[in-house]
Amino acid sequence: MDCSLLKHPATLIWALLMLATALSWGLGADSASSGNGVMGLTALLMAIAFIKVRFVIQYFMEVRHAPLALRLVCDGWAVLVCGAILVLVWMSPAA
Site string for other proteins, 3-32 (x = CB under 8 A): --x--x-xx--x--xx--xx-xx-xxx-xx
Least distance CB 53 / other proteins (angstroms):
5
* Cα dist from 1 to 4, 15, 59, whole Å: 9, 18, 22
Cα angle for residues 45, 15, 29 (degrees, 5° grid): 35
Are 58 and 27 spatial neighbours (Cβ–Cβ below 8 Å)? no
Binding site for other proteins (CB under 8 A): 5, 8, 10-11, 14, 17-18, 21-22, 24-25, 27-29, 31-32, 37-38, 41-42, 45-46, 48-50, 52-53, 56-57, 59-63, 65-67, 70, 73-74, 77, 80-81, 84-85, 88-89, 91-95
